[in-house]
């Protein structure tokens, strides 16, 4: 019988991503709701990745299945899906969680195929009902929320980053070394180059504060205004698709349905109208501040705080005030 709540931990260059702790804590909550089932993590990477396992134990993980293999670093869909599918098939968990992060989204498509099961993606809530997983996820670009139950096992779900709390709950975590089952001749993908974002830039999907600019910025040179505000707030800069399509910002900055889905504590939208496709990427932010000169802009329907004025007047003023507060 399928048993246990599993998750695939995420690490990059030997550092666990925040989503891994969110997955561990959520898996713990589900396992407790199932009457105290075991929480197990799959941790994949190059030599030395085993040293990260104890950190997962601090967030409620009972057992970490670790595969160390040079073919698992850097990440490729091919190698990670093969290794994860192998260990999951061998142990037959009831539930398998992943992050709805860039890497998690990439991996889950291949993994769900290999496991021939069902999956709820980009969930904002998960719970147990009648002994089975019940996942809640936005549908129609966030217009409504649907409840999804999965009839097969493992019941797979990916969790939207920054939505689920990471709660410390130390367990005597057991580490189990596993064979990744990789044949170098069969891993067809090879990473030739990794292009990194500017040093120190927090990824949008993990950012606590985001300052985003849209078409209202009027040109790439004006982003300096929101970069300054982002600088004093310790925020990451985002953009609407209009700004990206105009070539003002790189695609990696795009927030929305065809960009990144973000859930920061604070999202400041500057000169963004609030099209449904933009809202789909940021409406689960805890607090939304909109700065727009058009009082009818749809973004104000989602915003917790709205400022109707010229952003080129408001944003520098905000930067000045925040600087004063922090001094």
Ligand X SMILES: Cc1cc2nc3c(=O)[nH]c(=O)nc-3n(C[C@H](O)[C@H](O)[C@H](O)COP(=O)(O)OP(=O)(O)OC[C@H]3O[C@@H](n4cnc5c(N)ncnc54)[C@H](O)[C@@H]3O)c2cc1C
Question: Which among 55-63, 120-128, 187-195, 214-222 is the span making contact with ligand X, rule CB under 6 A?
Answer: 214-222
Residue 63 CB, nearest approach to ligand X (Å): 38
Residue 77 CB, nearest approach to ligand X (Å): 23
Angle between helices 224-233 and 311-326 (to 10 degrees): 20
Spell out, one character per residue from 223 to 252, where the chain touches ligand X: x when CB under 6 A holds, - when not. -----------------xxxx---------
Instruction: State the number of binding residues for ligand X (CB under 6 A).
Output: 28
C-alpha distances out from residue 30 to 57, 65, 94, Å: 16, 19, 11
Assess 18 for contact with ligand X (CB under 6 A): no
Assess 138 for contact with ligand X (CB under 6 A): no
Assess 82 for contact with ligand X (CB under 6 A): no
Distance CA 188, CA 76 (A): 9
Whichever of 8 and 314 has its CB closer to ligand X, that residue is 314
Residue choice 99, 142, 281, 306 for contact with ligand X (CB under 6 A): 281
- State the SS3 of the chain: CCCCEEEECCEECCEECHHHHHHHHHHHHHHHHCCCCCEEEEEEECCCHHHHHHHHHCECCCEEEEEECHHHCCCCHHHHHHHHHHHHHHHCCCEEEEECCHHHHHHHHHHHHHHCCCEEEEECEEEEECCEEEEEEEEHHHCEEEEEECCCCCEEEEECCCCCCCCCECCCCEEEECCCCCCCCCCCCCCCCCCCCCCCCCCHHHCCEEEEECHHHCCHHHHHHHHHHHHHHCCEEEECHHHHHCCCCCHHHEECCCCECCCCCEEEEECCCCCHHHHHHHCCCCEEEEEECCCCCCHHHHCCEEEECCHHHHHHHHHHHHHHHHC
Whichever of 99 and 271 has its CB closer to ligand X, that residue is 271
Assess 254 for contact with ligand X (CB under 6 A): yes
Residue choice 32, 232, 277, 322 for contact with ligand X (CB under 6 A): 277
Residue 207 CB, nearest approach to ligand X (Å): 16
Assess 275 for contact with ligand X (CB under 6 A): yes
Nearest to 237 by CA among 221, 250, 219: 250
Question: Which among 87-95, 101-109, 219-227, 285-293 is the span making contact with ligand X, rule CB under 6 A?
Answer: 285-293
Residue choice 17, 28, 137, 278 for contact with ligand X (CB under 6 A): 278
Residue 237 CB, nearest approach to ligand X (Å): 14
Which residues within the stretch 290-309 sit at the binding site for ligand X (CB under 6 A)? 291-294, 297
Residue 51 CB, nearest approach to ligand X (Å): 38
Assess 312 for contact with ligand X (CB under 6 A): yes
Residue 78 CB, nearest approach to ligand X (Å): 28
Residue 307 CB, nearest approach to ligand X (Å): 9
Interface residue list for ligand X (CB under 6 A) = 214-216, 240-243, 254-259, 271-273, 275, 277-278, 281, 291-294, 297, 310-312
């Amino acid at each position: 019988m399928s048993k246990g709540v599993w998750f695939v931990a995420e690490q990059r260059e030997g550092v666990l991503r925040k989503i891994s702790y969110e997955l561990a804590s959520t898996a713990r909550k589900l396992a407790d709701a199932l009457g105290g089932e075991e929480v197990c993590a799959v941790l994949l990477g190059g030599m030395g990745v085993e040293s990260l396992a104890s950190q997962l134990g601090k967030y409620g993980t009972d057992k970490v299945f670790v595969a160390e293999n040079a073919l698992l670093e850097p990440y490729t869909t091919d190698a990670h899906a093969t290794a994860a599918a192998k260990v999951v098939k061998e142990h037959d968990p009831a539930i398998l969680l992943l992050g709805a992060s860039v890497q998690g989204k990439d991996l889950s498509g291949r993994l769900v195929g290999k496991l021939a099961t069902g999956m709820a993606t980009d969930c904002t809530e998960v719970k147990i009902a009648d002994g089975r997983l019940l996942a809640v996820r936005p549908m129609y670009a966030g217009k409504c929320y649907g409840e999804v139950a999965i009839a097969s096992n493992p019941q797979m779900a990916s969790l939207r980053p920054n939505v689920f709390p990471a709660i410390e709950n130390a367990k005597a975590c057991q580490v189990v070394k596993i064979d990744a089952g990789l044949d170098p001749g069969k891993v067809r993908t090879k990473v030739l180059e990794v292009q990194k974002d500017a040093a120190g830039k927090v990824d949008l999907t993990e950012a606590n504060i985001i300052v985003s600019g849209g078409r209202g910025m009027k040109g790439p040179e004006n982003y300096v205004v929101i970069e300054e505000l982002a600088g004093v707030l310790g925020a990451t800069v985002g953009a609407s698709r209009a700004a990206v399509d105009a070539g003002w910002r790189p695609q990696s900055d795009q927030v929305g349905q065809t960009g990144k889905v973000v859930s920061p504590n604070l999202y400041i939208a500057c000169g963004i109208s609030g099209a449904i496709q933009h809202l789909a990427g940021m409406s689960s932010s805890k607090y939304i501040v909109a700065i727009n000169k058009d009082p009818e802009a749809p973004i104000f329907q989602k915003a917790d705080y709205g400022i109707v004025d010229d952003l080129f007047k408001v944003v520098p003023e905000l930067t000045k005030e925040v600087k004063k507060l922090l001094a």
